[in-house]
Amino acid sequence: MNQDFWEKQILEMIKEISDEKKQEEVWLKGQGAEVSSYEEVICSLYDDLNFELFLEKYDKEKNILYKNMLELNNKLNIFIKKNNQIEISDLLFDREWNEIQNLAKKVVEAS
């Protein structure tokens, strides 16, 4: 996969992590034609897109974006380990998840 396409796909997952409204409508309420969930986004980011390998190979010249992605990755890893089976209704109001959403917004804004 070429680096630019890889980055674009990762940023799409990060954008969904940052989108509180979409999470409430699609993840929690199941509204709209789109099918998505917390689990799907995390699996796409780490399994399908291999986010951590991307960070290892990332062009570090884009310093602020890289720094924000690293911070998001670290927070996500901690959160995932602590909240393996969290209910979506609890997730959306979790203080740590809200911090992750804000970090994801910083990544999106820096891209």
pLDDT of 50-109, one tens digit each?
999 999 887 666 678 888 999 999 999 999 998 878 888 888 989 999 999 999 999 999
State pTM to two decimals: 0.89
User: 16 with 37: CB under 8 angstroms?
Assistant: no
pLDDT tens readout for residues 16-53: 999 999 999 998 888 877 788 899 999 999 999 999 99
- The average confidence (pLDDT) of the chain is 89
- Buried-exposed string 17-51: b where 16+ CB fall within 10 A, e elsewhere: bbbeebbeebbeeeeeeeebebeebbebbbeebeb
Cα angle 45-22-96, degrees, rounded to a multiple of 5: 65
